[in-house]
């Protein structure tokens, strides 16, 4: 570990790395502060351009966007009661009440400190636990890996979106997309329909941008505003006169809440399928249950802001734990970063830690450095936030679509892939309109080949006997967990249908 850290320091301490970390944080601030957009759009847009950068620089830039977004979403939440991201909804509860009391500056500073400390906590955990987890993962063979991936897909399908059934349908379609191209073992064409561009399967970047960026842009552009455009404005609010700044004497009592919420957010972020919104919710709920009347959580209390921001920001580093050690992305941001790893020829998993240790530790150290940049740049962004919040979405989203188109063509140099992006953009939009989340499909598309490879190698090892998945302790545990997850989804569906039937009969 020490040798890897020494080599990593040389990769981190470059002007290019620092510059692109700053760029990522700025973009995260901007996209996080624009309600309804989120940092995933910015990450998706920049993925094609990281192809031309050093792997460490490109990936750190994308992760810095996530850091900036975690704090950026709190700006409109506190000032306008209009959260820039879903996880910032809990920040708005206490933050906007403080704004109405003329204490917006104190609320914003609390959000900034809490976001940075919570994020830093998860980065340190990532640095300490990634190598031990990867060392254990090296002992995992094809049967175990296939069982782990299957369990992860079931968890993500069950927990992401409005319905477990819809999540599983989305997951199944993603697995089907992952089979397009040449067979992994026989090299025979599968579902290519004699289209030469599909011999290697669908490219990652068009699918990422189409499902996540294009579909979100279509959703936002379609939102009605009562027949007229409603500009986002601060209604004359002067951020430089938002009351007093947060004092050190006020920050110190918040530290136990911030650290506790950071631990909760780290655990949630490391669990595939949960995400920052769940981390913010559980952190806020825990803080409220443990609070005293004078804390006024829910009524404009600083501890409420601290808990929500530390809880959602801690997921930034934590969601890399399953990604780097096992190759399993737990949320949209991790799935996008997985695509960036693959673009640079790096396959996340236990062998990445063993074969590319300096690069991995350089990424970990860069995340810590990015936190220091975040807190130094955050105060300046607070003063400039009004300009970011005033951008006309009717201009912004068409520009996003144009940049995405240029980015795909610049990466693949194929008009075919541009068409694929548009096709999946329409598909992602239709899925969102029908209540399906594109995330399970995207993750299944990325993990499908890994699942297939694990299953087929395991069957080759056993001479075609599927009992091999039950003979090994690790694979048996995850097969049982997968079965229990599936049974729970079926039971929940039957129960909901029965309750709906009973409610309908009572109404009649």
Cα(84)–Cα(108) distance, integer angstroms? 14
**Could you report how far apart the first and last alpha carbons of the chain are, in Å?**
68
Cα(32)–Cα(82) distance, integer angstroms? 11
* pLDDT at site 508: 63
Buried b vs exposed e over 39-78: b needs ≥16 C-beta within 10 Å?
A: bbbbbbbbbbebeebbbbbbbbbbbbbbbbbbbbbbbbbb
* pLDDT at site 390: 55
* pLDDT at site 114: 92
* Tokens 């809880």 -> residue: 311
Cα(288)–Cα(304) distance, integer angstroms? 7
Cα(280)–Cα(41) distance, integer angstroms? 21
* pLDDT at site 228: 42
Q: Which distant-in-sequence residues (6+ apart) come within 8 Å of 81 by Cβ? A: 92, 96
How many Cα atoms are found within 13 Å in the side-chain-facing hemisphere of 204? 22
Low-confidence ranges of the chain (pLDDT < 50): 224-240
**pLDDT tens digit sequence for 225-274:** 444 444 434 444 444 455 677 788 888 889 999 999 988 888 877 766 55
* pLDDT at site 229: 43
Rounded to the nearest 10 degrees, the angle between the axes of helix 104-137 and helix 357-388 is 160
* pLDDT at site 258: 92
> The tokens of 131 are what?
């190598």
Q: Are 107 and 303 in contact (CB under 8 A)?
A: no
Cα(69)–Cα(364) distance, integer angstroms? 18
**pLDDT tens digit sequence for 336-392:** 888 888 888 888 877 777 777 788 888 888 888 888 888 888 888 887 765 555 566
* pLDDT at site 237: 45
Cα(388)–Cα(379) distance, integer angstroms? 15
Cα(376)–Cα(204) distance, integer angstroms? 35
How many Cα atoms are found within 13 Å in the side-chain-facing hemisphere of 274? 23
């Amino acid at each position: 570990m020490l040798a890897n850290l020494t080599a990593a320091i040389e990769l981190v301490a470059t002007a290019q790395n620092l510059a692109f970390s700053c760029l990522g944080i700025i973009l995260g601030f901007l996209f996080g502060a624009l309600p309804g957009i989120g940092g995933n759009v910015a990450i998706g847009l920049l993925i094609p351009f990281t192809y031309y950068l050093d792997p460490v620089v490109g990936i750190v830039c994308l992760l810095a966007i996530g850091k900036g977004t975690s704090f950026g979403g709190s700006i409109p939440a506190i000032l306008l009661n209009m959260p820039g991201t879903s996880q910032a909804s809990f920040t708005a509860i206490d933050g906007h009440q403080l704004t109405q009391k003329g204490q917006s500056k104190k609320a914003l500073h609390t959000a900034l400190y809490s976001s940075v400390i919570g994020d830093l906590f998860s980065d340190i955990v990532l640095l300490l636990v990634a190598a031990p987890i990867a060392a254990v993962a090296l002992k995992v063979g094809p049967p175990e890996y296939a069982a782990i991936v299957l369990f992860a897909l079931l968890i993500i399908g069950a927990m992401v979106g409005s319905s477990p059934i819809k999540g599983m349908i989305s997951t199944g379609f993603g697995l089907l997309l992952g089979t397009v191209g040449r067979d992994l073992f026989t090299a025979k064409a599968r579902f290519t329909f004699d289209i030469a561009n599909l011999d290697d399967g669908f490219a990652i970047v068009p699918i990422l941008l189409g499902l996540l960026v294009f579909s979100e842009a279509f959703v936002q552009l379609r939102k009605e505003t009562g027949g007229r455009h409603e500009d986002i404005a601060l209604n004359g609010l002067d951020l430089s006169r938002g009351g007093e700044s947060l004092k050190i004497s006020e920050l110190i009592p918040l530290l136990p809440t911030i650290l506790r919420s950071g631990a909760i957010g780290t655990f949630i972020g490391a669990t595939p399928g949960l995400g920052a919104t769940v981390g913010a919710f559980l952190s806020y709920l825990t803080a409220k249950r443990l609070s005293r009347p004078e804390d006024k959580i829910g009524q404009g209390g600083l501890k409420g802001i601290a808990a929500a921001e530390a809880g959602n920001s801690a997921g930034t580093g934590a969601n890399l734990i399953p990604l780097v050690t096992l190759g399993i992305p737990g949320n949209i941001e991790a799935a996008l970063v997985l695509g960036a790893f693959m673009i640079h020829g790096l396959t996340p998993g236990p062998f990445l830690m063993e074969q590319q240790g300096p690069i991995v530790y350089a990424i970990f150290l860069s995340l810590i450095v990015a936190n220091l940049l975040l807190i130094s740049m955050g105060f300046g962004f607070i003063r400039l936030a009004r300009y970011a919040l005033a951008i006309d979405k009717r201009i912004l989203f068409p520009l996003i679509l144009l940049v995405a188109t240029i980015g795909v063509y610049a990466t693949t140099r194929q008009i075919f892939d541009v068409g694929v992006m548009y096709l999946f953009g329409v598909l992602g939009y239709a899925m969102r309109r029908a209540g399906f989340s594109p995330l399970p499909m995207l993750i299944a598309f990325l993990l499908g080949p890994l699942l297939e490879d694990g299953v087929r190698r395991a069957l080759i090892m056993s001479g075609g006997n599927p009992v091999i998945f039950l003979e090994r302790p690790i694979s048996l545990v995850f097969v049982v967990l997968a079965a229990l997850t599936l049974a729970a989804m079926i039971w929940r569906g039957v129960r909901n249908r029965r309750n709906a039937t009973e409610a309908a009969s009572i109404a009649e």
